[in-house]
Each structure stands twice: as C-alpha cells, then as structure tokens.
Chain A
Amino acid sequence: MSDMKTGSKRAGLPTRYVINTVKDVNKIEYEMSIQRPIADRINNSFIKTYKPVIDDAPYRIFSSLTDYRSWCEKCLPKWLGYGK
C-alpha cells in the first residue's frame, strides 16, 4: 500500500495519516463511520435485496433456535451463508 495518503478534513480525523496495513484502512473507516450522524449510519447500512426462500413467506415461527438452524441447513441455499 502507499506510504502516505492525504486524509479527510472531517472533524476528528487527521488531515494526513499513514496507510501501511489493512488495519490502518480499517481504523480510518471505523472513525469515519462513528462520526456519521445516526441517520446516515442507518440510511447507508440497511439495504434490501431478495433472499430466496427466506423472503417467500410472510413469516416463520420456530420454537427453538435449534429448529431454526436445522431449517436453515435443510432449506436455504448454502451461498446465503446461514449454514454452519
């Protein structure tokens, strides 16, 4: 990664910061996100895309999380990531 990048002038962030590692990038991303107003955090972060099976019923009820996990393993496409 590059040695030095010019940073944001957003309040609380250094105007110049060192980017050497992914962790450095993460820290900048964390700080910028924390400083966003709560409305921006919500509006930027909640998205809606169709999830097969899950979105195909108005609701589902499970008596235990074990039952829910079993249903996920059995009924959901693996690529959704709900399996173990």
Chain B
Amino acid sequence: MVNRPFSYPVAEKLAKVFSKHGVEYLFIGKSGAILYGFPDTTQDIDLFPEKSRKNGIRIVAALKELGFEIDQTLEKAIIEGKDFVQIRGGPFDLDLVFAPDGIDSYDTAKKNAHVIADMFPVASLRDIIASKRKANRQRDREVLDRLEDFYHYLKTRENSPGSH
C-alpha cells in the first residue's frame, strides 16, 4: 500500500480546487478538529458536503482535477449523495459523509461553521462533538472526553481578556 499523507500543500490544493468548482462542503470529524488546533492524529479526511445533484457534479469535477480516478459507479454515488462514500484509491484518503450522525442539516451546520485560515470551512466543534457522540463507536468514545476538554479550553481562551 502506497503512503499518501495529507500534507498542507495538498490541503491547500483541495481548498482551492473545491472553491474553484463552487463545492459546498465542511470538514468534520477529527480532521476538522485538528484544523481548530486539536492536538491529535488522523488518517483520512472527512468532508460533509451539501447533498444536492448540482453539488455532487461539482464534487466529481473537483476530485477529478485533484487526481482521483472516478469511475461511473463512484460518480453516480457522489452525484446521488449516497450517505457515506469512502474513497481510498486517490491521492489521499477521503470520506464523503453526506448525512453525518448527530447533525440535523447541512444548512444548520454551515451557519455554525468557521473558516479556518481563510481557506478551510470547518463544522463547529460542537457539531463535530455531537456527531462523534451520536456515532458512539469505540474510536469516538476514546477521543470524546479530550475533545470536550479542548472545546472548553478554546471557549475559555476566547473569553479571556487579551485573547485574539
């Protein structure tokens, strides 16, 4: 298996290409938390795209430009917005989660989201935590307490005098 680490240049390219194609999406999961500064590691990128045919077509075009090989079956699934699409054959590991646990709708999540470094749209930490809590897998439970602790640290930091 070839190693395909997700590095900053790759992340920057993803953001630029998705923006160019007008893709509506948010980072979620641990990859989203890491963009906020959560000190942990992960392997894949979890994206929560808006579920619409138009957005699906844009995602396919963007992924092809990023070097993903998208055959007809995969293209159809993305355009139809199948709830969970796990892609391992591309330049980096990517999960498209069109209906994440614990999040009511894309529109609500988008309202609560933040853009990190003027480039990366990320679901709110509250939504990321809610999603992990609802999923309740072993790997989610292992990180939840620390994620909650990090969230409270960030809130305290934002509210402290002289914070920025």
Contact = CB atoms under 8 A, between A and B. Distances in A.
B122 to A, nearest CB: 11
A26 B138 CA distance: 22
Contacts of B84: 61-62, 64-65, 67-68
B157 A38 contact: no
Interface stretch (B17-25, B52-60, B86-94): B86-94
Interface string B118-143: 00100000000000000011110010
A23 interface: yes
Interface residues of B, number: 51
A44 B150 CA distance: 18
B144 interface: no
Best-buried of B4, B7, B86 by chain A (most CB within 10 Å): B86
A51 B32 CA distance: 21
A45 to B, nearest CB: 4
Interface in B65-97: 69, 73-74, 77, 82-89, 93, 97
Interface of A: 23, 26-27, 29-36, 38-39, 41-51, 54-55, 57-65, 67-69, 72, 80-84
